[in-house]
């Protein structure tokens, strides 16, 4: 089955699946037959769909990430390593968290960045001179910066 629509709501996904396959399935198997009165315009969502409810669906064969090689560092929540308010980042309060990474302005705040198999959320900005680097927030873990520093494969998970 090939569905050409990329952005749609769950409701229109069900309608598109119905139109393309003739059946509707759930985890336990088939639970409905195609409704012949349903028609799908592949260029536009059904008129009953509120555009504000649209969400992205990424199919298995689509790439929704970018892999790059980047230098990764780590930093602690100490004034000597940040500024006078080490717990306040561009994306809000970060102390006590272990999933925060600082990234360049190339990536929107909230972007998921994977390093060494762990997902981090971009919640702060690097200084412009470090724009091609990622900085993992280690809070009070003094051993963390040395553990995470180095050239790494970084996966930027794109929100489509």
* pLDDT band for position 56 (cuts 50, 70, 90): very low
139 in the same domain as 121: yes
Query: Taking 70 as the threshold, does the pLDDT of residue 20 lie above it?
Result: no
* pLDDT band for position 158 (cuts 50, 70, 90): confident
Q: Which residue has the tokens 């705040």?
A: 109
As a whole number of angstroms, the distance between CA 113 and CA 117 comes to 10
143 in the same domain as 88: yes
In a domain, 1, yes or no: no
- Identify each DSSP E strand in the chain by its residue range: 7-8, 23-26, 29-33, 55-56, 65-75, 88-89, 92-93, 100-103, 112-115, 118-125, 133-137, 150-157
Which is nearest to 123 in space by CA: 142, 147, 100?
Answer: 100
100 in the same domain as 27: no
In a domain, 118, yes or no: yes
Q: State both tokens at 58.
A: 């990424």
Q: Which residue has the higher pLDDT, 141 or 13?
A: 141
89 in the same domain as 126: yes
Number of domains present in the structure of the chain: 2
Q: What is the mean pLDDT of residues 77-101?
A: 94
Which is nearest to 37 in space by CA: 19, 59, 55, 58?
Answer: 19
Provide φ and ψ at 51, rounded to 5°. -60, -25
Query: Taking 90 as the threshold, does the pLDDT of residue 144 lie above it?
Result: yes
134 in the same domain as 70: yes
148 in the same domain as 71: yes
119 in the same domain as 42: no
* pLDDT band for position 65 (cuts 50, 70, 90): confident
Query: Taking 60 as the threshold, does the pLDDT of residue 7 lie above it?
Result: no
pTM of the model as a whole? 0.60
142 in the same domain as 85: yes
CATH number at residue 144: 2.40.40.10
Q: State both tokens at 117.
A: 């198999």
Range of the domain at 152: 65-157
pLDDT digits (tens, 9 = 90+) for 106-129: 899 999 999 999 999 999 999 999
Q: What is the mean pLDDT of the chain?
A: 74
In a domain, 45, yes or no: yes
70 DSSP 8-state letter: E
């Amino acid at each position: 089955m090939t569905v050409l629509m990329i952005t749609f709501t769950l409701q229109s996904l069900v309608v598109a699946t119905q139109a393309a396959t003739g059946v509707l399935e759930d985890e336990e198997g088939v639970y409905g037959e195609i409704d012949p009165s349903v028609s799908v315009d592949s260029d536009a969502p059904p008129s009953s769909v509120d555009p504000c409810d649209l969400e992205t669906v990424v199919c298995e064969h689509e790439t929704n990430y970018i892999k790059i090689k980047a230098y990764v560092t780590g930093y602690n929540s100490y004034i000597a390593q940040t500024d006078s308010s080490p717990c306040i980042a561009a994306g809000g309060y970060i102390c006590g968290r272990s999933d925060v990474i600082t990234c360049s302005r190339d990536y929107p705040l909230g972007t998921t960045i994977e390093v060494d198999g762990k997902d981090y959320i971009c919640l702060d900005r690097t200084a412009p001179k470090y724009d091609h680097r990622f900085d993992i927030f280690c809070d009070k873990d003094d051993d963390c910066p040395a553990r995470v520093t180095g050239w790494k494969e970084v996966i930027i998970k794109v929100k489509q």
